[in-house]
Amino acid sequence: MAKNWFNFLSQNGASFNSQKEVSFSTSTNNNDNSAKAQNPGFFENDLFLTDLSWLGVIEASGADSKTFLQGQLTNDINIINPSQSQLSGLCTPKGRLRALFSIYANTDKLYLQLPFPLVEETLKRLKMFVMMSKVELIDISDSLIKIGIYGDKSEAYLKENGFSIPDKVNMVTEYNGMQLIRLASDKARFECVGSSENIQLLWESLHPHAQLLNSGQWKLLDIHAGIPNVFAESKEVFIPQMLNLQALNGINFKKGCYTGQEVVARMQYLGKLKRRMYRAHCDTQELPLPGSLLHSAESQSGQGSGNIVDAQFSPDGGIDLLAVITTDAVNNNDIFLDETLQVKLTLQDIPYSIETEE
């Protein structure tokens, strides 16, 4: 993390763990399971603000950067431009996701954003296939500053600071060297990226009106929007369709070959998906890690009845989560967090249609 940005946030009550996840002294402690009691205004304020240093960034540049990435990732890289970002995955040859990126661009560079703990190994993996291609891949996680902005009044405050507002999810606008990306959510939600100097000025303008969120609370917004992440604990666990990427425009089935493409295409056209991602709630005070097994009374599989994608404390008590679950367990209402079958999951609506795109 850039030293000046770290110092600035620390002076504003921020502390960080080894994964660069932030906690603010003025917001809920994510390790406290009484989230609503500690933060009764959560989801009720007009403006929320957070640091996104827990997300790292790989920069791709060079004449062959798009061609190179087109042969590696699940989505059509040629669609990306300075006004359009996208979701895209990096798979193993067996079609399992090593990483899931949010990708955005300026005029000559692409930025692949993913959880920081995966940056080093993902960068190393991509570099293995560069060979003679004219592409340079570097880790710029510390130099590109990222913040999250959310709430009913976020658009108004951003306009006051000079921004044009992106109309649709994944659309991007630019102002004063900063890019503003619209994210999926129930209310207006944005990521803003730029230099530490410019982002600090924006933060100072927004902060007096905003409630600060911890990293876990921002991840909770992803959960509520049905947007998956792949973490170090869950890499190589899911194929893209298990995470609903076909419904989130994270897979292009008409592009050419990429690593794992045969498995992904076979599942789309010839297979039957027996597991997919659902949103759920359960009454517990323990946060399961990404990738953790789910259980059911009827499951005879060593794979259990599913796996956690992500889970965070809910402001209403208990935890909200995304999980990939077998269709049998869903149909039988037989999904539990624990092996003793005491903590049952209650499925909730996911805010988009799960339809196959061809």
Chain segment 289-300, per-residue pLDDT in tens: 999 999 998 876
pLDDT band at 354 (very low <50, low <70, confident <90, very high): confident
Q: Is the pLDDT of residue 179 over 50?
A: yes
Of 94 and 29, the structure prediction assigns the larger pLDDT to 94
Q: Is the pLDDT of residue 42 over 70?
A: no
Q: Is the pLDDT of residue 221 over 50?
A: yes
Instruction: Give bridge partners of residue 346 from the DSSP assignment.
Output: 281
Q: CB within 8 A of 353, min separation 6: which ones? A: 247
Could you tell me the CA-to-CA distances from 118 to 168, 226, 231, 232 in Å, in that order?
A: 28, 21, 7, 6
Structure token digits, residue 139: 């880790």
pLDDT of 190: 99
Q: CB within 8 A of 44, min separation 6: which ones? A: none
pLDDT of 304: 85
Mean pLDDT estimate for the chain: 93
Q: Strand 97-105 and strand 109-115: pairing?
A: antiparallel
Report how far residue 302's alpha carbon sits from residue 300's, in angstroms, rounded to the nearest whole number.
7
Q: What residue ranges define each of the domains in the chain, with the CATH number in brackets?
A: 3-53+143-225 (3.30.70.1630), 232-348 (2.40.30.160)
pLDDT band at 26 (very low <50, low <70, confident <90, very high): low
Of 36 and 54, the structure prediction assigns the larger pLDDT to 54
CB atoms within 10 A of CB 133: 15
pLDDT of 111: 99
pTM beyond 0.85, yes or no: yes
CB atoms within 10 A of CB 214: 25
pLDDT of 256: 87
pLDDT band at 31 (very low <50, low <70, confident <90, very high): very low
pLDDT band at 82 (very low <50, low <70, confident <90, very high): very high
Structure token digits, residue 40: 């009764």
Q: Is the pLDDT of residue 39 over 50?
A: no
pLDDT of 300: 61
Report how far residue 74's alpha carbon sits from residue 198's, in angstroms, rounded to the nearest whole number.
33
Q: Which tens digits make up the pLDDT trace of 123-172?
A: 999 999 999 999 999 999 999 999 999 999 999 999 999 999 999 999 99
Token match 């890690």: residue? 289
Q: Which tens digits make up the pLDDT trace of 70-80?
A: 999 999 999 99
Q: How far is CA 296 from the centre of its chain?
A: 28
pLDDT of 301: 60
Token match 């789910």: residue? 294
Token match 């989560």: residue? 321
pLDDT of 32: 47
H-state helical runs in 113-250 = 119-127, 154-160, 196-206, 215-225
DSSP state of 272: -
pLDDT of 38: 40
Token match 């539990």: residue? 336
DSSP state of 141: T
3-class SS of residue 105: strand
Range 323-334 average pLDDT: 95
DSSP state of 117: G
Contact 97, 89 (CB under 8 A): yes
Contact 113, 80 (CB under 8 A): no
Q: Which tens digits make up the pLDDT trace of 189-220?
A: 999 999 999 999 999 999 999 999 999 999 99
Structure token digits, residue 144: 């590109």
Q: Which tens digits make up the pLDDT trace of 246-295?
A: 999 999 999 989 999 999 999 888 878 999 999 999 999 999 999 999 99
